Amino acid sequence: MLICLTASHRNASFDLLERLSIGAPTAASRLVTDSDVLDGAVVLATCNRFEAYLDIAGDDRDSAVSATVDAVATASDLVPAEVAESVQVLGGGDVVQHLFAVSSGLESVVVGETEISGQVRRALEDARANGTTTSELERLFQEAAHTSRGVKTRTRIGAAGRSLVRLGLELASSRITDWAHTRVLLVGTGSYAATTIAALRDRGAANIQVFSPSGRAPWFAAKHDLVAATDLRGAIASSDVVITCTSSEVPVVEPTDLDDGQRRIVIDLGLPRNVDPDTADVDGVELLDLETISIHAPIAELNAESEARQMVDDAVSRFRAQALEQSTTPALVAFRKHVFDILDDEIERAKRRDADPESVEQTERALRHLVGVLLHRPSVRARELGRAGRGEEFVGALDALYGVHPEPEAELPSPVVPLADRTAPGSDRTDEADAS
């Protein structure tokens, strides 16, 4: 049984989401090993979204929710009641609908955002590494990935949406008349920093310095044809725009790093915050953080979003139909095994009775053909009943007629997925920011 605990920019504060983004992922493995009510869990935690997809052992939904809330609250240094008040609990088909929409960028701050699909994929990869996936979670997330790819390639939703980087630069552009003559300092050297450089250069920015709290600025500057800065305060003083995007868990820019009276725009794209909020009180400084940027997120192109949502609805319907059809699979497998065990016994008896190999071979072919014909209709009917939501009738009939019971479904091994698209260890930012 799958359920989902979700909190986003729609129903939770940015402060709470920020805390969850740090602590919740670390709770995922303990969530399964320390709980008797959970078989598996995949946790997605970003700047604007917290999601916990849970595969429950049995139907004790309340215990699963309570255990999850307690675990992520403890890991995030939050009060469980505060987390419980901020999360929405989804069950059944709503879980499928929600994940497909999230992965396709339809629940993002900027509708059509593409970074979220990669973050959903990485959440599954982390769960695999921690051993917390199940066959049900694997099927759910793999189909979500397939759906998001279809939405991206077959609709214009990506054109309607814009990344938070570009949206932040758009807001800054109302104050900047000429990016070509604007001095920019970039704090961070991860994959998100590379995205920021591309967006800056699209606007004509040429004078860009880079500073890295981890000391990677010279390497990153050489790779991207930038100027490496070694003194943060001095680099800030010589810049008109400061953009931060590191994974540091403490602010790297403090109010004391900025001079009073110097006009400057500071864009904080970090998660957690890279810039102390009190920086906004420094005379001449305008701070644009993720919360401010999200307020100005544009309304999506209605047609593109409508097409994308229709694709998601269709994918959800197919997934549900497949799940219902597969509900009879364990019973059908048990029935076929029962029949073929009987067949094998009869063939062995035929071999003992008849010494003529050719005669035995003809008998075996005839019996196997007969069994195949007899099994065809029950197999078709099992799938039909499953799709109609009447799979329990098939299971009950096998029990009543043959005493056959389906065996518990074994967990499927997690597929090995290449992680080549991850950034190198030690980078300031390993993920691109979520707009979800």
- Give catalytic residues, as residue numbers: 47
**Does 383 count as an annotated binding residue?**
no
**Does 423 count as an annotated binding residue?**
no
Which backbone phi and psi does 44 adopt, to 5 degrees?
-115, 120
The alpha helices in 242-356, defined as continuous H runs, are 290-295, 302-326, 329-353
**Does 191 count as an annotated binding residue?**
yes
**Does 382 count as an annotated binding residue?**
no
**Does 188 count as an annotated binding residue?**
yes
**Does 403 count as an annotated binding residue?**
no
CA dist 265 to 174, 195, 244, 260, Å?
11, 19, 11, 13
- Indicate the helix (H) or strand (E) that contains 362: helix 357-387
Cβ-Cβ contacts under 8 Å for 202 (sequence gap 6 or more): none
Residue with tokens 């397939």: 146
**Does 47 count as an annotated binding residue?**
yes
**Does 322 count as an annotated binding residue?**
no
Residue with tokens 């700047």: 47
**Does 192 count as an annotated binding residue?**
yes
Residues linked to residue 53 through DSSP beta bridges, in sequence order: 4, 42
Distance CA(226)–CA(232), nearest Å, equals 15
Distance CA(263)–CA(221), nearest Å, equals 26
Structure tokens at 250: 């403490």
Q: Is 186 helix (H, G, I), strand (E, B) or coil?
A: strand
Structure tokens at 397: 């009939």
Are 425 and 184 in contact, with CB atoms under 8 Å apart?
A: no
**Does 28 count as an annotated binding residue?**
no
- Indicate the helix (H) or strand (E) that contains 39: strand 38-46
Regarding beta strands 88-91 and 207-211, do their DSSP bridges make them parallel or antiparallel, or are they unpaired? Answer: unpaired
**Does 245 count as an annotated binding residue?**
no
Structure tokens at 5: 């605990």
**Does 49 count as an annotated binding residue?**
yes
**Does 190 count as an annotated binding residue?**
yes
Binding site for NADP(+), by residue number, is 188-193
Residues of each annotated binding site: 46-49, 108, 113-115, 119, 188-193
Feature table: binding site for substrate: 46-49, 108, 113-115, 119
